[in-house]
Chain A
Amino acid sequence: MMNDSLCTFAGRREEVLVAYLYDEADFETRATFDRHLTTCAQCRTELQAFRGVRAEMGRWSSPELADHVNVTFGHPVPVPVPVPVPLASGGFIAAMRQVPAWAQVAAAMLFVGVAAGVANLHVTYGQDGLTVRTGWYQTAPAVAAAPAVDPSNAPWHNDLAALEQQIRSELDARPVPTAAPAAGDETTARRVNLMLQDSERRQQRELALRLAELMRDVQSQRQADLVKIERSLGVIRSRTGQTGIEVMRTQRQVNSLAQQVSQRP
């Protein structure tokens, strides 16, 4: 007759029983417990009961997933890598996005300089003030040369020669002028240089302003496009995510209605 008294297993009985139940006991422990089971009704009963519980638990299945988990992965790389945009897909504006601002300003200034060289600009300062004009102006057509005349036989030749001699002698007798006119030339030259520099600075500032405006417009247009794209993606995600839940809710309602109908006499 089997002994129904309390278990006398020497050791951590509960842990060994569970390890035995799930077949995770080592060889020695298993052999020891096997021997113990031959003499202990309590352990045998409990082991059998736990096996029954496991069998019942095996009947509990989780509901099926209505649809796959909706996890949207755009660019899964940990560090975002900029994707170069070909010219064909966005043109000059798309290519401009990839170039730093300072490089764009430098390129624009180079362009202006080359354009000025091509235009062959001439800057002069005279009685009419500062004048800037291109060098590509047409000269007046050459006047037709007069027919050559032999002056030695002209009746007025002697008179002309005498007059020339008289003017030369008068010029030689005139005193040498002072340095005042030279200082005036230097001042004028300095003023012209200052005006030129001022003009260049104004042109550069204006160019930089125009480039900054252009960049701002490009950037804001890009941001607007990105926002539009994000909104479109959000609409698609929300529609997809809700579809599975709505189907499940509808199915429950149909089940409930079917039950009510089936229960009517």
Chain B
Amino acid sequence: MTLTDEELVARSIRGDADSFNELVLRWERPIYALAYRTIGREEDARDVCQETFLRAFRALPAFRGQAKFSSWLYRIALNLCRDWMRRERRTPIVQPPEDVDLMDLATAAEPSESIEDLVARKDMTRLVENAMTRLPEEQRTAIVLKEYHGLTFQEIADLMGCPLSTVKTRLYQGLTVLRRELAKSAGRVA
């Protein structure tokens, strides 16, 4: 039987290391993905991910279940990302994926997808990444949390510490910027 996050947290607080390791395994990929999409660097995102779980472990006795465990983890991760960006004093540089690697293409292409389609898809990925760098931190965070982590407006508002209407406004403005940037890039490519 799969234990819920709350059950694993309770066991971890009582001293069960395996339970916390289970939480790490369950949430390391989403946290890493959040960090990567927010700050744009693979190794730094990995460091943020690791630090997130270390801080969560230390603060676990103080976790009272007032929010979902995942929301609590996201908050820690976002704070670390924010600290990283302030420390670096620059907007994140999203590293586009490595240039086309034939071996990757051979193994990644879906059966019905041609190599040309896969290259086009990778190009679009690069365009999306570049467009995301144009966004201010708050808009990018709101879009990442909504698009890639499926959080509700209220959860995003709680995480970012802002009103519900502000979250919607940030999403609208972020989507507007992305629409413009993607159209611009697509026009250049075409």
- What is the interface of chain A, defined by CB distance below 8 A to chain B? 12, 14-15, 17-19, 22, 24, 49-50, 52-54, 56-63, 65, 68-71, 73-78, 81, 245, 248, 252, 255-256, 258-259, 262
Contacts and interface: CB of A to CB of B under 8 A. Distances in A.
Contacts of B24: 68-69, 71
Contacts of A81: 15
A260 B156 CA distance: 44
A62 B43 contact: no
Given A22-B171, A76-B12, 18 more contacts: A24-B152, A53-B179, A54-B175, A56-B124, A56-B127, A57-B128, A57-B148, A59-B121, A60-B132, A61-B125, A65-B29, A68-B24, A69-B24, A71-B57, A76-B17, A255-B101, A258-B103, A259-B99
Contacts of B101: 255, 258-259
A158 B103 CA distance: 139
Contact of B128 (A17, A19, A49, A60): A60
B168 interface: yes
Interface string B133-156: 000000000010011100011000
Contacts of A258: 101-103
Is chain B's interface secondary structure helix, strand, loop, or mixed overall?
helix
Given A18-B172, A258-B101, A59 B125 contact: yes
B153 A245 contact: no
Nearest to A22: B146
Contacts of B110: none
B12 A65 contact: no
A64 to B, nearest CB: 8
